[in-house]
Amino acid sequence: MPEEIPGTPGQPVTATVSFDADGNAITSITFAVDYDQACLNFDPKDEDYDGVPDSMTLMVPATFISQARFANGAIRFVHFSLDDTMPDGDIVEITLAVSDKEECRGTTAEVGFSSAPAFGDSSGKPVTGWTQDGSVKIADN
């Protein structure tokens, strides 16, 4: 996830989760994203009833089955395919509302992974991976 994404108080900001298989044939990924709830807000509504909150965009291949849920202040994701491997690139965009509270202005709000992700290869074996947390740098205006 990018660090210090520019954020304006009272406006939305988009955090992108990118994936790099590092040469592995990854067919399943699970992870959770957490964020600074004092200065950022996630809207979990799913008004189009497609099973994915409207404030996020899943960008995985159509051959993948994906789920995204918001619970207990974390956004949880599962992506898997029986037929394909996950290509490198952006896999999720999450839109967060930047608070206009005075105490948030000029601060850096964390957006990161709340637990270690799990990756599986095409033979069903776990693959070791790592994450990079990001943040939103909130303007002081």
- pLDDT at 141 exceeding the cut of 90: no
Q: Does 29 have pLDDT greater than 90? A: yes
> What mean pLDDT comes out for the span 96-116?
95
Q: How far apart are CA 108 and CA 7, in angstroms?
A: 9
Q: pLDDT digit string (tens) for 114-129?
A: 878 999 999 999 999 9
Structural domain boundaries in the chain: 5-124
As a whole number, mean pLDDT of residues 28-57 equals: 95
Q: CATH assignment of 5-124, given 3.30.470.10, 3.30.360.10, 2.60.40.680, 3.30.2350.10?
A: 2.60.40.680
